Amino acid sequence: MSFFSQAFDGASEAALVTGAGNGIGRAIAQALVAEGVRTVFADIKAETVQAAIAASGAPGLCTAWVGDLAERSECDRLLREAGAALGTITHFVHSASPPRREADHAMAVSDETWLRMRAVNVDAGFHLGRELSRALIAAKRPGSLMYLTSLHAGTPRNLPHYSTSKAAMAMMVKEFAKTLGPYQIRVNALVPGAILAGGFVADPALSRHVPLGRLGQAQDLAPLALAVLSNRISGYVTGAAIVIDGGLSLTNWFDAPQLDL
Ligand SMILES: NC(=O)c1ccc[n+]([C@@H]2O[C@H](COP(=O)([O-])OP(=O)(O)OC[C@H]3O[C@@H](n4cnc5c(N)ncnc54)[C@H](O)[C@@H]3O)[C@@H](O)[C@H]2O)c1
């Protein structure tokens, strides 16, 4: 039997991806529908959601949802509308995150920016994950939740609202994984390095520090994200933080050795 030709069951499984209008969320949502999974594309920007669906190759499997996940009432509307459109959501990806601005260092970031980052990354991530899990437990269905965290859950980024929210998400994944494991709901973190997507303005010099020699693309993450989401491929993986960074996290102040080959 091939594991990879049937990673998902399109008839019974359905997905919700936040931040699906751009970058990593968009790549994962499009990859899910390419595997035949009915998927809600949720984002705050209507035009990018429509563009992501139009470019997905399977618009009939896509449901658009537009709203501000910083608002609890909007999160609840998303839960209601996703359930009405697709029934029980078995796979959840939380990729939405407000823009990061380099000017927002510890002595400059405003209360509003701090709260909004936490509201989308942590509060919405927790509320959506918990309520989707409640529905899965009630339906006696297995599930898979994935949170996009960051290498900056563990190292400073000069953006304290961002790094602290990612650190909170990293622990949220572990709390959920332990609590929900007995119900066969797996919860994992995907930890990107430097990925050229909307949320990250790259310094070209950074690629010098990536052992694989280049910055990442959103499409680099989608196959591994699907493998981890799939209960058939990764049915015994939960509470994991899977780094996908071209080796960036191996960087320290020593350069790689010059090999005399
Ligand atoms: N790009 C990277 O290098 C990188 C590195 C580490 C972690 N990450 C994480 O991966 C995830 C995706 O990153 P990306 O670079 O693709 O980001 P991105 O900015 O390209 O996409 C994020 C999406 O979230 C949406 N969004 C923002 N606020 C929202 C809100 N209030 N309600 C609904 N949608 C909202 C945006 O409109 C956007 O489409 C983020 O959680 C980010 O922190 C990215």
CA terminus-to-terminus distance, the chain: 42
| Cα–ligand 1 centroid distance for 251 (angstroms) | 24
* Residue 194 CB–ligand 1 contact under 6 Å: yes
pLDDT of the residue at 255: 84
pLDDT of the residue at 1: 67
In whole angstroms, how far apart are CA 38 and each of 10, 14, 60, 62, 243?
Answer: 7, 5, 8, 6, 27
pLDDT of the residue at 252: 86
CB 27 within 8 A of CB 105: no
pLDDT tens for the chain, 261 residues long, are: 687 889 999 999 999 999 999 999 999 999 999 999 999 999 999 999 999 999 999 999 999 999 999 999 999 999 999 999 999 999 999 999 999 999 999 999 999 999 999 999 999 999 999 999 999 999 999 999 999 999 999 999 999 999 999 999 999 999 999 999 999 999 999 999 999 987 677 787 889 999 999 999 999 999 999 999 999 999 999 999 999 999 999 998 888 889 999
| Cα–ligand 1 centroid distance for 43 (angstroms) | 10
Mutate to test the pocket of ligand 1, among 47, 97, 104 (most ligand atoms within 8 A of CB): 97
Atom 23 (ligand 1) nearest CA:
19
CA dist., res. 177 & res. 87, Å (int): 23
* Residue 246 CB–ligand 1 contact under 6 Å: no
Q: What are the residues whose beta carbons fall under 8 Å from the beta carbon of 87, sequence distance 6 or more?
A: 14
Structural domains of the chain ordered from first start = 9-248 (3.40.50.720)
CA dist., res. 130 & res. 138, Å (int): 12
